[in-house]
Amino acid sequence: MQEETRAYQELRVGFTAAVSHELRTPLARLLALLDSASLPGADRDALLAQAREEVEEMSELVDDVLFLSELESGREVVALGSTSALPVLEEVRDRLADSAERADVTIRVEAGPDVELPLRRRMLQIVVENLAENSIRYAGPGATLTLSARPHLLEAADDGRGLEPDELSRVFERFYRSDRARASRGTGLGLAIVKHVVVAAGGEVEATGGPGHGFTVRCRFRSAPGSASSGRP
Ligand SMILES: Nc1ncnc2c1ncn2[C@@H]1O[C@H](COP(=O)(O)OP(=O)(O)OP(=O)(O)O)[C@@H](O)[C@H]1O
Ligand SMILES: [Mg+2]
C-alpha cells in the first residue's frame, strides 16, 4: 500500500514537471515573438498572429490538464448513464468536416440506431473527438477514418500512416508524441484522456496498426445498458 502511494506520488511529481516543461516551449516562443515585435520595422501583424497561436496552444494544454485533474478527483462523473452512439458519431463527423476536408481525410460513420454506450454524452463526445482529430492530423492525405459503434464497442480505425510498434505501445502515455508528430501542434494528452474516460466507465482501450497500415483505437466496455445485446461478452 505504501509502495502504491509512493508510486502515485512519483507519478504526480513527474506530471507536474512535464506540464511545466510543455508550457516552457510556447512561453519561450512568445517571449521571442514579443522581442521581435519591439524591433524597428517589425511586421507586427504577423508577429501578433503567431503570438496568438502560442497563447492558444497554452490554453489548450491548460484546459486538458484541468480536465484530467477533474477526472481524477472524481468531479467529472464519467460513467453515469448511457448514450446513443450514432448521433454523437455523426455530430463529431459534421463538426470536423472542414478540417477533415483540408487534410483530405474522409470520415465514415457506422453504427446501428440502437447502439448505446455506457458513458455520459459529453464524455463520449470527448473520446470520439480526440480520436477523429488524431486521424485528421496524423493519418495523411487520402486516408479514410471509420468511426463505428456496436454494443460494448467503440472503434476509430484509419488506413493512414500508422506508427512503429514501439511508438504504438506508448500512445496512451501522457505527453507521448511520435517524432513525426512533433512537427505539428499538440501536447500528447488526447489519448491519455481517452483512456482515462474509458477506464473510468469500466472499459478498456487498445491501439493497433503498423507503419503504412493505419491506426485503430478500440474501446471495449463491459456492459452497455439499454442496448440490444449482441451476445458479445
Ligand atoms: N491516427 C493516428 N495515426 C498515426 N499516429 C497517431 C494517430 N493518433 C495518434 N497518433 C500518435 O499518437 C500520439 C499521441 O496522440 P495524442 O492524441 O495523445 O496526442 P497529440 O495528438 O499529439 O496531442 P493532443 O491530442 O494533446 O492535442 C500522437 O502525437 C501521434 O504521434
Ligand atoms: Mg490528439
What is the distance between the alpha carbons of residues 64 and 193, in angstroms, rounded to a whole number? 8
Task: Label residue 203 exposed, middle or buried (CB < 10 Å: 0-12, 13-18, 19+).
Answer: buried
Classify the C-alpha dihedral 196-134-161-221 as positive or negative.
positive
pLDDT in tens, 142-199: 999 999 999 999 999 999 999 999 999 999 998 899 988 888 888 899 999 999 989 9
Give tens-digit pLDDT for 166-178.
999 999 998 899 9
Residue-wise pLDDT for 90-145, tens only, equals: 999 999 999 999 999 999 999 999 999 999 888 899 999 999 999 999 999 999 99
Q: Between 43 and 75, whose confidence is greater?
A: 43
CA distances from 46 to 13, 37, 42, 124 (A): 38, 9, 9, 38
Question: Pocket of ligand 1, candidates 134, 166, 177: which has the most ligand atoms within 8 Å of its Cβ, to mutate?
Answer: 134
Sign of CA dihedral 217, 223, 229, 232: positive
Q: Which residues contact 141 (CB under 8 A, 6 or more apart)?
A: 103, 104, 105
Pocket test for ligand 1, best of 138, 170, 176 (most atoms within 8 A of CB): 138
CA dihedral (138, 144, 147, 153) positive or negative:
negative
**What is the identity of the amino acid at 162?**
G
pLDDT of the residue at 233: 39
Q: Please give the number of the atom of ligand 1 that sits closest to the Cα of 185.
A: 27
Domains of the chain, first to last: 2-73 (1.10.287.130), 83-221 (3.30.565.10)
CA-wise closest residue to 230 among 81, 148, 116, 108: 116
In 3D space, the residue among 141, 131, 83, 82 whose CA is nearest the CA of residue 109 turns out to be: 131
Residue ranges lining ligand 1, Cβ < 6 Å: 64, 130, 134-135, 138-139, 158, 160-163, 171, 176-178, 181, 186-192, 215
Give 63 or 46, the one with higher predicted confidence. 46
